[in-house]
Structure 1
Amino acid sequence: MKSCLAIRHVAFEDLGAFEPVLRNAGYQVVYRDAGWDDLARIDPLTPDLMVVLGGPIGAYDGALYPFLEDELRLIGARLAAGTPLLGLCLGAQLMARALGARVAPNPAGKEIGWAPLGLTAAGQASPLGELGDLPVLHWHGDVFDLPAGCLPLASTGPTPNQAFRHGRALALQFHPEVTARGFERWLIGHAAEIGAAGLSVPALRAATATHAARLEPHGARLLARFLDGD
């Protein structure tokens, strides 16, 4: 059986719809919780796949959250070795930072809600092509510059760099893993951020009820192609 190590920052931002896909593909999934588990003790090259999940902190906040430096070392080691790595939201931002790119608050403000991606030609040919013009969930306030030597795959109006690949590593600023059921926990966990942004919980819930079920099979095919090395 292959191994997947998922680094989780908050309990409700887990693998979501991706977890059954991984298990059906023969992966044993193990979570390690940043800020609780000692990430410095992890051998970065032992898991067949590493997934770095999202969270409401900045990739540049190592002085406040020292475990981020351990994460950056793990990510950097896998990037250097060319082993499979998937970053979602904060995970993608940490990948960009590990590759020397700038990560900073978005001057356009937070991007929260459902909207389609604009795929580049490389994005259309990549696993992201499985998403087509479907809306995906965005939930971030930071953006990253495209790391040197990486292929840009997608953008939105507020966020020029939504995805990139680096060898066998794929960085996604958005959330293709979200499920309608799991999203209810997001509404609880991010209640303060939702209120500060002046967003509507019922509207976010309704949009997720409309889009999440449609997204799920497309996200599953995206992940399957990534696992196959596409």
Structure 2
Amino acid sequence: MKPHLKVHYFQHIAGEGFGSCYAYLKDMNAQITATEFFALPVDLALDIEALPHVEDVDLLIIMGGTMSVNDEANYPWLKIEKRWIRRYLSLGKPAVGLCLGGQLIANALGAAVSKNVAQELGWTTVRKINFVPEGCFQLPEQFSVMQWHSETFEIPKGAVHLAENEVCRNQMYQIGKNVLGFQFHPEITPETLALFLEDEEELALFNGGSVQSGTELKKSSKDKFIQGNQLLNKAIEYVLAKTVY
């Protein structure tokens, strides 16, 4: 690992920053920078050269968001972001995608992202896939994490399917040894969940048997967040360890 790790994250909505892994990366003396797409004017014709040079990023973390990866008409920077992701991944660099971030990596590599059979919002159990090849990222047999999505990704060509549940089959994948895509939110903290729950318009878009109420989620105990947070730290450790600089 480089002595001064340069970590860059793509943020798509206000309030959804690094979450739990910020302290973990700071303990590694990482230099952290961000692109805040939500702060850009909607009609801005963003040029790919306005983003960081891929050579200057040692680890990319792509956060979630309320938009669809397919909504390039309303969010024209999505097309540029996906081009940049393809360029970055072509160099074999490590990346972690969280919810929308996992969808963006998959879609940038040609996999479809579409409506899931049901919406997921709240704490759910996810289980690892049986017979994952040796050397892949190791997951617990099952674990509890925060979900907040209506769409889901197909597993990109050549990727390994890592996790699933009854509501959404594609919960996590691995590309090579240095890219991990999550459908769920392992980074969530009590503070970021509180910010999510302030968006009543977003909450009103969710319904169904796999959707927990805001009132219920506000009562989430602090120990609910630990398993996902630890999983994300291990994921970062894994993709960095598997990268040769």
Match for residue 161 of structure 1 among 162, 166, 170: 170
Alignment of 1:1-230 (within 5 A): 1-36=4-39, 40=48, 41-42=50-51, 43-106=53-116, 108-120=117-129, 121-122=131-132, 126-129=136-139, 131-167=140-176, 168-189=178-199, 191-198=200-207, 199-207=212-220, 209-229=222-242
Q: In the TM superposition, what is the alpha-carbon distance from 1:73 to its structure 2 partner?
A: 0.7
Measured on the aligned residues, the alpha-carbon RMSD in Å equals 2.1
Distance 1:208 1:62 in 2: 37
Q: Quote the sequence identity (%).
A: 27
Note the alpha carbon deviations across 1:80-109, whole angstroms, 9 max, x for none: 111111111111111111111111111x22
SS in 2 for 1:5: strand
Whether the aligned pair in 2 keeps the contact of 1:128 and 1:222 (CA below 8 Å) is no
The answer to whether the 8 Å contact 2:127/2:141 transfers is no
Q: State the distance in 2 between where 1:9 and 1:101 align.
A: 20
Deviation at residue 180 of structure 1 after TM alignment: 1.4
Unaligned runs of 5+ residues in structure 1 are none
CA shift at 1:156, angstroms?
1.4
The structure-2 alpha-carbon separation of the partners of 1:163 and 1:114, relative to structure 1 and needing over 3 Å to count, comes to same
TM-score, with structure 2 as normaliser: 0.84
Q: 1:176 to 1:47 in 2, by over 3 A?
A: same
Distance 2:193 2:85 in 1: 27
Query: When the two structures are superposed, what TM-score results if normalisation uses the length of structure 1?
Result: 0.89
Residues 21 and 224 in structure 1, CA contact (< 8 A), matched pair in contact too: no
Q: Which runs of 5 or more structure 2 residues have no equivalent in the other structure?
A: 41-45
- Cα-to-partner distance string for 1:61-83 (whole Å, 9 max, x where unaligned): 11110000111011111221111
The one-letter code of the counterpart of 2:162 is L
Which structure features the higher share of helix residues?
1
- For the residue of structure 1 that corresponds to 2:124, the secondary structure is strand
Q: Of the two, which has the highest radius of gyration? A: 2
- Bigger drift between 165-174 and 67-76 goes to 165-174
